Structure formats: structure tokens, C-alpha cells
Amino acid sequence: MAQKTAQPDVARNGGGKPSAAEHDHELLTELFRQMVLIRRFEEKCQEMYTKAKIGGFLHLYIGEEATGVGAVSALRPEDHIFTHYRDHGHAIARGLDINPLMAELFGKVTGTSKGLGGSMHFAEAEKHFWGGYAIVGSHLLLAVGVALGMKMQNKASVVMVFFGDGATNGGEFYEALNFAQLWKLPVVFVCENNLYAMGTPLEVHSSVTEIYRKACAFDMTAERVDGNDVLVMREAALRAVEHARSGQGPVLLEAMTYRFRGHSAQDTQKYRTKEDVEKYRSTDPIEVFRRTLIDDGVLTEEQARAIESRIDDQVEESVRFSEESPEPGVEWIKQSGVYAEAIAVDPPIHGE
Amino acid sequence: MPELTFIDAIRAAMADEMAADERVFVLGEDVAQKGGVFLATDGLLAQFGPLRVIDMPIAEAGIVGVAIGAALHGLRPVAEIQFADYLHPAIDQILNEAARFRYRSNGDWSCPIVVRAPFGAGIHGALYHSQSVEALFTSTPGLKVVIPATPYDAKGLLIAAIRDPDPVLFLEHKQLYRSLRGEVPTGSYIVPIGRAEVRRRGSSLSLITYGMMVHACLEAAAQAAVDGIDAEVLDLRTLAPLDVDAILATAHRTGKVLIVHEDNLTGGIGGEIAALIAEHAFESLDAPVRRLAAPDLPATPFSDNLEEFFMLDPHKILAGIRELARY
């Protein structure tokens, strides 16, 4: 069971590490594949950004893959996801095809939002992936509203909502947690604590640096976990999802993680040293998990390389797909992008 | 046909729609047990139960954000914000989220919420209980803004808003709640969103207005008629999207336009209407388009004489009519 905030079991996250050998090999391989796919996809995004094939803002999830993959792996197809602007990892973990994702970054009509949204607003209705939201904290309330709808319709689905440590200082975080707990709504709040709100360190922006303790104010079940260990993250998410699905109410998970790249592609990262980043890179969640899988006999080195090679091909294919896709036309916006019924975007000219 | 007050017509719209469609529910501060600060939702809890009439924490972003989420999940929430002044804490949810769902998803998703709020001055509410906030919302495509002036329209427009597949901000002038009665049919009917209504036919000049000012304009027009000035009164009813055809039609018909609103002058919807007329009906004009509005003060003042200075009334409108007629 997940821990109440009054007696957090932080020690378990360092000590009670799940062994890879206890898990189904197919599942372990799939978790590995997803993490590598996110990594290679985003490395390609950075390359394409540098080549000016991708414009606008680019917030990379590199370094945090274990959190998203582990958490999303605990969900069923009927469950729902809301996330923040650093949304590539959650989208891929949820199984969105990377071709339309890359095309969206290229601003092409084949993108998930036909080129309207770009990096921060991936979405897909069929996967119940409600997308990335770039107003920090505002989407927590939307997740709670979806969960209220489920409660009213007696559905046993769960809503998982991702946000960063910075979002926990805003009012909407408190409004969302209070109402979710008050109504015992099936929401799993996943705070990805990567130690920085953009460029402001955790201890500078939050009076409480153990974010999970903020749940105390709502008597909500909460847990701090090692988000850089995909199996620890998955186990915690499974506990939280079960808690929410069984009607016991929401859970706040604080996933400790770290992003290797800047806040966005333009970040000069004056708020941390190269040594800080190197320290975390030396325990890269993907490298550690890869080594574990090989050491435990789940994969051979050759099998791991074959997976990585197939992913490289897949990512190259997404670039080819995006480059060959046409630009979006503007006509459909005038027809249907504003209201359900088409309205004239330009006012009619009278007397002509 | 029964006569109802303005607020009874609003309540009837919600009750009828909740009875007809189980997806419809209301949420807001004090809406259940208390029945709403103005009693707009009085009796709904007893009729529909606590799962469909929800007392929310007094946190407006939460009220609207939760409503949006429920709408995404297929429900038809009607959120009440106690006073339009309290919409401001929820502006992020209304403008950044609700108004954009259809657009951001290429029409895959919609956000059919209604946010109801009493607005307007004249009851000594001063800073935070008197504002006309419509102009903050009318510049956001994707959101509809509706302001009824009669009990008949209040019911028909609110039913239309609840059934509308897009988000609607529904502003109710609080001074009309119990001061205005009118014939309201029992059962469901729709007054279409986006259509203005000519309340008085006239040939000398046009008054373009909405909300409580419709009644002040009608009274002023009746007095002007004594002087032989035949004023037309157009009730906009919907501020977003505007009924451009009706606005231009009345400008073409009379050639003189006076726009009247309780919202303050600068940045008010009157400027947009004047621009539309200047762009598309310039050659029909016999006079510059004029605006009558509240002075550009940060908020409505409290004391009797100051509030009187702030508010428009039939006397001030009549002076405006006479001046424009003389041009």
C-alpha cells in the first residue's frame, strides 16, 4: 500500500529496489524500448532544432524517461493522462505514433494537431491523452474535472496528471488537491521533481522541499519515490492507481528525477554547474536499466543493440515522414477551428 | 403564459434542462444547500440531489477548471460564479483552456460549459460586486458571451447555452433579477445565440445596447418620441460572436448610431461596434457614431450620488439621443 504522509517510507525507495528478475521479460523489454525511443526521438528533435527544421520552444525530457515510462505503464487503455509542456515522453509512453509527433514539431499537417500546437501541446483523443498544457498548474483542475465526470458516471477509470515541482507553489495545485480529496476522486497526481522550476532551484522556490509532504494539508496519501528507477516508479504508480481505482481517493506521487538538458533548447543553465549534471548523467536511468537487464539475463548485449538500432531506424523514418508531409492550409481554421458551427472569421461586407 | 421574474426564468432554464438531460449539472459556491447567493439555484438540490447540484470550495479557478474537465468527459456543467467580479481568478481557465479546446484539437474535442455570473452596478456593491466585465472576454474567439435583457430571453438563451457545444459565458444583470417580470413559456424553447433583436423600430437614429441598458434605452426612446425623434433600439443579446448583420442593418436604416453600455468606455464592446460600422456602413452614416458608457474609473463607486454619476440612466441617454438627432 502507498504510505500516508504522516509516516513516509522514504527508505524503501533506496532499499526495497524491485529486482528485474522478478518481472516478466517481455514487460521489462518494453519498458526499456520505450525509454530508448523517447531518448533517441528527443536527441533527434534537438538535432532538427539545431538545423532549424523545428522552430519555437523545445523542452526535452531527456534524463526523466524512467518517470514517465514507469508511471504510464501502470495505466489501462481506458485511463486518462494530462501532462505539462514537457510532454514528449508521456505521449510516447502512452503509445502515440512518433510519426505524427515529429510531424507536429515540424509544423506539418500530418502532426497530431495539424501543426497548430507544436511541442508543448501533443494530444490524441483515442489514447485518452489529453495533451500538454503550458500554463503551469492549470491542467491539474481539468484532470480533477474529468475524474469528477467519472465518479458521476460510475466509471472505474483513473486520471493520471503530471506536473513539475514548480507547479506545486501555485494556487491551482491546492484547489485541485483539495477538491480531489474532498470527493475521493480517482486521480494520481505525479509530481516530477527535477529539482528546478525552470531555472530556479527547489530550495529557492518552495518552502517545503519534500513535495509529497504538501499532501498532508489535504490528508491525502502520498509517497516520494525514485523516479529514475523505472521499476520503482512503476511499482509506486501501480499502488497509487489501485488506490485511486478502488475508490479510496487520489494519491500524490513525488518522483525524484533530473533533466540532463536545459529547461528549453535556449537555456544557458547558469543555475547549476556542469559537475551537477555530470553527477546525474553518471547514473543515467536508461544506462542503469540496460545494465541491469543484461546482468540479470533479460537481454543480451546484442539484443539490446538490436532494439536500439530498430529505434534509430524508426526515428529516422519519422523525420522522413515529417519532411515529406505538406504544410497545413489555413482554410480549415476558418471553417471549423473556432466554434462548432463555421463562422466567418472576416466580417461580411455590406452594401457591395 | 405565466409571468416570471428574470431570476425565476434562469432557474426554470436550469431545472428544465436538468430534467431533460442527465448530463446537465450545476456547480458553484453555495449553489446547493443555500441555493445560490441570489437564489438562482434554489430548490435544485431537492429536485436533483447532491451529485448534480454541487457546492464547491470558494475558489473560482477550481470551479471552472473542474467544470471544463467534466465537460471534456461528456457532461454538461453549468458553473455559477457568485459575482462577475470573481471571474477574474478563473480567467486562466476560461480564456487559456475552455476557449481553446476545439482549436487545439482540430475540432476533435469541445468544451460545452456554461459559466453563469451576475454582473452590473446599481446596488451599491462598489469595487468587487458591481463590475461589467464583458469586454475582458469578448476578444477571445472560441468563447461565446451572452447577456439577456428579458425573462423570455434569459430562459431561451440559457437553454441554448447549455445545449451549445462550445463554452458560453452567461452574464445576468443582477439588478434585473427581481425588478423585471415578463411572460415566459413553460417547457423548453431556444433563443438562438448570436442573434440580436430589434426591440423598437425607428427611423431617426439607432440605439445599440444590451443587458439592463436595453430598458433604459427603451424608456429614453419613448421620451424622445414626444419630441418627434423616432429611435430604433437594437438589443445585441450576444456580444461574442456579434450579430454583425443586425448591427450594420440598423446603421444602414437610420444613418445615426448611439452605442450604449454600462461597461466603461475605453476598450468596451462599443469601440468594436463603432469600428464595424465605420468599416462597413460608412456611406450610410449621417453623423459620427457616438458612444455612451460608464466613465473610465477603476471601479464602481459606493455612495448614492457617486454611483448615480457612474451609471447611465434614461435621462442621460435621452440627452445623447437629442444631441445625435440634432447633428
Instruction: Give the per-residue pLDDT at A346.
Output: 54
Compute the half-sphere exposure of residue A86: CA atoms within 13 Å on the CB side of its CA.
Answer: 30
Nearest CB among A152, A337, A343 relative to B75 is that of A152
What burial letters (b/e) apply to A71-104, b meaning 16+ CB within 10 Å? bbbbbeeebbbbbbbbbbbbbbbbebbbbbbbbb
Task: Please give the single-letter amino acid code of residue B206.
Answer: S
Residue A114: list chain B partners with CB under 8 A: 106
Q: pLDDT tens across A27-85, in order?
A: 999 999 999 999 999 999 999 999 999 999 999 999 999 999 999 999 999 999 999 99
Instruction: Give the per-residue pLDDT at A16.
Output: 52
Contact A340 B165 (CB under 8 A): yes
Q: What is the rounded CA–CA span in Å between residue A325 and residue B88? A: 42
Instruction: Record the cell numbers describing residue B199, joined without a space.
Output: 426591440
- Cis peptide, bond prior to residue A77, ω within 30 of zero: no
Residue to test with chain B: of A116, A126, A142, most B Cβ within 10 A = A142
Q: Which helix (H) or strand (E) holds B274?
A: helix B269-280
Instruction: Give the per-residue pLDDT at A14.
Output: 40
Contact A142 B97 (CB under 8 A): yes
Residue B69: list chain A partners with CB under 8 A: 141-149
Q: Is the pLDDT of residue B26 over 90?
A: yes
Phi/psi for A79 (5° steps) reads -80, 170
Phi/psi for A49 (5° steps) reads -65, -45
Looking at per-residue confidence, does A310 or B125 come out higher? A310
Instruction: Give the per-residue pLDDT at A13.
Output: 41
Would an 8 Å CB–CB cutoff place A97 in contact with chain B?
A: no
Q: Which residue of B has its CA nearest to A109?
A: B106
Residue B144: list chain A partners with CB under 8 A: 339
Cell 477574474 belongs to residue? B88
Would an 8 Å CB–CB cutoff place A187 in contact with chain B?
A: no
pLDDT band at B105 (very low <50, low <70, confident <90, very high): confident
Q: What is the rounded CA–CA span in Å between residue A152 and residue B184? A: 32
Compute the half-sphere exposure of residue A201: CA atoms within 13 Å on the CB side of its CA.
Answer: 8
Mean pLDDT taken over chain B: 96
Beta strands in B184-281 (DSSP E): 197-200, 205-209, 231-235, 238-240, 257-264
Instruction: Give the per-residue pLDDT at B92.
Output: 96
Q: pLDDT tens across B124-150, in order?
A: 888 999 999 999 999 999 999 999 999
Chain B nearest CA to A225, separation (Å): 28
Closest by Cα among A122, A146, A125 to A134: A122
Compute the half-sphere exposure of residue B267: CA atoms within 13 Å on the CB side of its CA.
Answer: 10
Compute the half-sphere exposure of residue B114: CA atoms within 13 Å on the CB side of its CA.
Answer: 29
Phi/psi for A246 (5° steps) reads -85, 10
Instruction: Give the per-residue pLDDT at A15.
Output: 43
Beta strands in B32-122 (DSSP E): 53-55, 76-80, 114-119
Rounded mean pLDDT, A146-164: 95
Chain B nearest CA to A142, separation (Å): 4
Residue A117: list chain B partners with CB under 8 A: 104
Rounded mean pLDDT, A187-214: 96
Helix (H, G, I), strand (E, B) or coil at A319: helix
Task: For residue B256, give the DSSP letter.
Answer: -
Compute the half-sphere exposure of residue B84: CA atoms within 13 Å on the CB side of its CA.
Answer: 25
Are A66 and A229 a contacting pair, CB within 8 Å?
yes
Most confident of A275-279, B108-112, B248-252: B248-252
CA B9 to chain centre: 15
Are A82 and A161 a contacting pair, CB within 8 Å?
yes
Q: pLDDT tens across A4-35, in order?
A: 444 434 333 444 566 676 789 999 999 999 99
Q: ipTM value of the model?
A: 0.89
Q: pLDDT tens across A225-250, in order?
A: 999 999 999 999 999 999 999 999 99
Are A122 and A88 a contacting pair, CB within 8 Å?
yes
Which region holds residue B39: left if phi is over 0, alpha if psi is between -120 and 50, else beta?
left
pLDDT band at B173 (very low <50, low <70, confident <90, very high): very high
Relative orientation angle of helices A285-295 and A65-72, to the nearest 10 degrees: 60
Q: Which residue of B has its CA nearest to A118?
A: B104
R_g of chain B computed on alpha carbons: 19
| Helices and strands, number each (H, E), in chain B | 12, 14
Task: For residue B307, give the DSSP letter.
Answer: H
Q: pLDDT tens across B237-295, in order?
A: 999 999 999 999 999 999 999 999 999 999 999 999 999 999 999 999 999 999 999 99
Neighbour count for residue A25 (Cβ, 10 Å): 14
Instruction: Give the per-residue pLDDT at B52.
Output: 97
Q: Is the pLDDT of residue B80 over 80?
A: yes
Listed range (A98-112, A326-340, B41-55, B219-233) with the worst mean pLDDT: A326-340
Active site residue B129: yes
Would an 8 Å CB–CB cutoff place B166 in contact with chain A?
A: yes
Would an 8 Å CB–CB cutoff place A96 in contact with chain B?
A: no
Helix (H, G, I), strand (E, B) or coil at A24: coil
Would an 8 Å CB–CB cutoff place B24 in contact with chain A?
A: no
Contact B107 A336 (CB under 8 A): yes
Q: Is the pLDDT of residue B217 over 50?
A: yes
R_g of chain A computed on alpha carbons: 21
Closest by Cα among B65, B54, B157 to B111: B65
pLDDT band at A352 (very low <50, low <70, confident <90, very high): very low
Contact B97 A135 (CB under 8 A): yes
Instruction: Give the per-residue pLDDT at B248.
Output: 98
- Largest Cα separation within chain B, whole Å, is 59
Nearest CB among B69, B244, B252 relative to A141 is that of B69
